[in-house]
Amino acid sequence: MRSAAVRLLLVAALLPGLLFADDVVTVAVASNFATTAAELSAAFTKVSAVPVRISPGSTGKLYAQIINGAPFDLFLAADSQRPLLLEQSGLTVSGSRWTYAIGSLVLWSRDERLRGKDCREVLEQGDYRWLALANPETAPYGAAAREYLESAGLWEFASRRAVFGENIAQTLQFVATGNATLGFVALSQTRDPNLPRATCAWPVPAPSQASLHQQLVLLERARSNTGAQQYLEFLATPAAKEIIGRHGYEVPD
């Protein structure tokens, strides 16, 4: 506890004027990162007294809300495509886009019939009833799952047995409740101590998930929001990177 307090004091020292900010920060967060964002926001608020509101959802739906005027200050996406599109549309503060985390995909199950088996072999043999993945059109983790299945020559069969979650959080729910035999979920989700133990799990190789470089942007409407700007700076601190890494993400240098 003492070391955690020391780290937070160091964060305060790294962010001049942080303790005097009084703006509310509203953050649109990709579903896979919601739990991590909650911990980050609590740490930020502890040293700044600036409240943070988190609005989780699929990256595609949050992007659509932003271009239609949703009142967010920051966007923490699960890909790099949508932040770039927002930047190109003039909806972000110039220079604010950067990669805050790199995600990983896991094929996961809690079906008792798969206990001790190889998840990858079960997938390749088609020995499952339902396969859960997030909607590839709106969720980057779903797009990465489809990319892997297509590259492995498994998409045609898998698509006939696929159940699509609105986002990665709902996808995990499908598998954790046993409504799907297997599911492609985020590694970060499997770090949740409250999650039932997997009967089998297989980390999807990194080349199949190049789209999971997660970027953030400060939105133009928050240009004068001091709290939002300081939250952005906080996410680049060692204390924030430690939290992100502990939740199962690779943290860029």
251 falls within a domain: no
The pTM of the full predicted model, rounded to 2 decimals, is 0.87
Q: Is 239 inside any structural domain?
A: yes
Q: Which helix (H) or strand (E) holds 45?
A: helix 34-48
pLDDT of residue 21: 45
Percent of the chain whose pLDDT exceeds 90? 85
Its domain, for residue 180, covers 105-203
Residue 10 pLDDT level (bands cut at 50, 70, 90): very low
Q: Looking at the structure, do residues 172 and 194 belong to the same domain, yes or no?
A: yes
Cβ atoms of 200 and 117 closer than 8 Å: yes
Burial 108-143 (b: 16+ CB within 10 A, else e): bbbbeebeeeebbebbeeeebebbbbbbbebbbbbb
The pLDDT value recorded for residue 206 is 77
Same domain, 19 and 81: yes
Question: pLDDT-derived band of residue 253, with 50, 70 and 90 as boundaries?
Answer: confident
Q: Does a structural domain hold residue 253? A: no
By C-alpha distance, which of 144, 113, 141, 139 is closest to 127? 113
Residue 252 domain flag: no
180 shares a domain with 219: no
Q: What is the pLDDT of residues 39-71, one digit of tens each?
A: 999 999 999 999 999 999 999 999 999 999 999
For 97-124, what is each residue's pLDDT tens digit? Answer: 999 999 999 999 999 999 999 999 999 9
- Give me the CATH number covering residue 181: 3.40.190.10
Same domain, 94 and 110: no
Shared domain for 73 and 128, answered yes or no, is: no
Counted domains in the chain: 2
Residue 130 contacts residue 163 (beta carbons within 8 Å): yes
Per-residue pLDDT at 85 exceeds 90: yes
Together in a domain, 123 and 158: yes
Can you tell me the distance from the alpha carbon of 68 to that of 1, in angstroms, rounded to the nearest whole number? 43
Selection from 77, 76, 120, 103 nearest residue 187 by Cα: 103
Query: Both tokens of residue 96?
Result: 């604010």
pLDDT at 76 over 50: yes
Condensed to tens digits (0 to 9), the pLDDT of residues 128-181 reads 999 999 999 999 999 999 999 999 999 999 999 999 999 999 999 999 999 999
Residue 210 — pLDDT band, cuts 50, 70, 90? low
Is 70 in contact with 222 (CB distance < 8 Å)?
Answer: no
